[in-house]
Structure formats: structure tokens, C-alpha cells
């Protein structure tokens, strides 16, 4: 696969994906019964915020992550990994897994710099990525593919 060297199922990446998915065990996902609507919006999510916070705390403890108290009304998941550990691959595979398990299909990826953004967009749009995940994540009628929509910031008139 030209351009990218994939090393699937690395233990630290699989552990991160499993931990995130485990955090959703007590969350209920309700897809729309209207086929047309279900093609455009993620399933409705319902949960008890204190149970979700407790599940996240337990997952953190099981993974040796301490000192990161999460408020029960904080719905932001921040996953940190060291440089060079395959963050882009890990969150991409996580998106595929969340789609496969819960039917989620819209995600927002935020990156800190323009160079990382360019690399991320190239990665997500690559034929190599599509081929790599094709066998594990096929849809009922077609291969699951990531479609990207890139938000560009407006140019400032006042310099940087």
C-alpha cells in the first residue's frame, strides 16, 4: 500500500480503542426509524451522565490513568498518546469501530497545526486506508469509506 505503512493490531493501539469503546457500555444508541433521516444524522444518544462518568473513571483506573477527574456533565473525550505511536491510525480505526458497533458515522477531528491537518486529510482520503480497512469494515451494500469535509479558516486581514 503505497504511501502508508500500516501495522495493524498493535497492542497499545488496540488497548486505546477498547478503552474508549468500553466507556460507552451503558450508553444507549437509538437510530432513526426513518431510512432517509438515518442516512444524514447519527443515532440519538441517551445516557445517565453520572453513570457515564463512572464508566469512564473505571476505564481510566483499569488503564492506570489517575488524576483526571471528569465532571459528569463533561462530554468531551480527550485521548492522549505519545508522538509516533499511531494516533491518526488509532482514531481512524476507532471511528470504524464506533460505526460498526453503534452506528455512529459523523465525527469531528481537531488537530493542532496546519501541517498535521494536511497529513490527516491525506491519510483519511488515501486509497491505502480504504483498502486496509475494506475487509474488516464492509457495509451491507458497499465498503465503508470515510468521506472528509475539511473546514478552512478565513484569512485574517490583520496579519497573523
Confidence of residue 1 (pLDDT cuts 50, 70, 90): very low
Q: Which of 102, 108, 109 is nearest to 22 (CA)?
A: 102
Question: Is the pLDDT reported for residue 124 higher than 70?
Answer: yes
Residues in Cβ contact with 143 at an 8 Å cutoff, skipping those fewer than 6 apart: 130, 134, 137
pLDDT of residue 121: 93
Lowest model confidence (mean pLDDT) among 12-21, 83-92, 150-159: 150-159
pLDDT of residue 14: 93
The helix or strand, by DSSP H or E, that contains position 88, with its residue range, turns out to be helix 87-102
pLDDT of residue 68: 63
Q: Kindly state the average pLDDT of the residues 119-147.
A: 79
pTM of the predicted protein model: 0.81
Domain parsing of the chain, residue ranges: 11-134
- What are 67-96's pLDDT values in tens digits? 666 665 666 677 778 888 888 999 999 999
Q: Kindly state the average pLDDT of the residues 41-45.
A: 90
Amino acid at each position: 500500500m503505497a504511501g502508508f505503512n500500516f501495522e495493524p493490531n498493535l497492542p497499545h493501539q488496540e488497548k486505546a480503542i477498547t478503552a474508549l469503546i468500553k466507556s460507552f457500555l451503558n450508553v444507549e444508541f437509538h437510530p432513526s426509524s426513518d431510512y432517509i433521516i438515518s442516512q444524514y444524522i447519527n443515532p440519538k444518544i441517551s445516557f445517565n451522565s453520572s453513570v457515564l462518568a463512572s464508566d469512564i473513571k473505571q476505564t481510566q483506573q483499569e488503564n492506570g490513568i489517575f488524576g483526571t477527574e471528569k465532571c459528569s456533565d463533561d462530554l468531551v473525550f480527550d485521548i492522549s498518546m505519545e508522538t509516533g505511536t499511531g494516533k491518526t491510525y488509532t482514531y481512524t480505526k476507532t471511528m470504524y469501530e464506533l460505526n460498526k458497533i453503534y452506528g455512529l458515522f459523523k465525527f469531528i477531528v481537531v488537530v493542532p497545526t496546519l501541517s498535521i491537518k494536511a497529513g490527516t486529510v491525506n491519510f483519511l482520503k488515501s486509497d491505502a486506508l480504504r483498502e486496509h480497512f475494506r475487509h474488516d469494515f464492509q457495509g451491507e451494500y458497499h465498503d465503508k469509506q470515510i468521506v472528509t469535509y475539511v473546514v478552512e479558516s478565513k484569512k485574517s486581514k490583520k496579519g497573523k
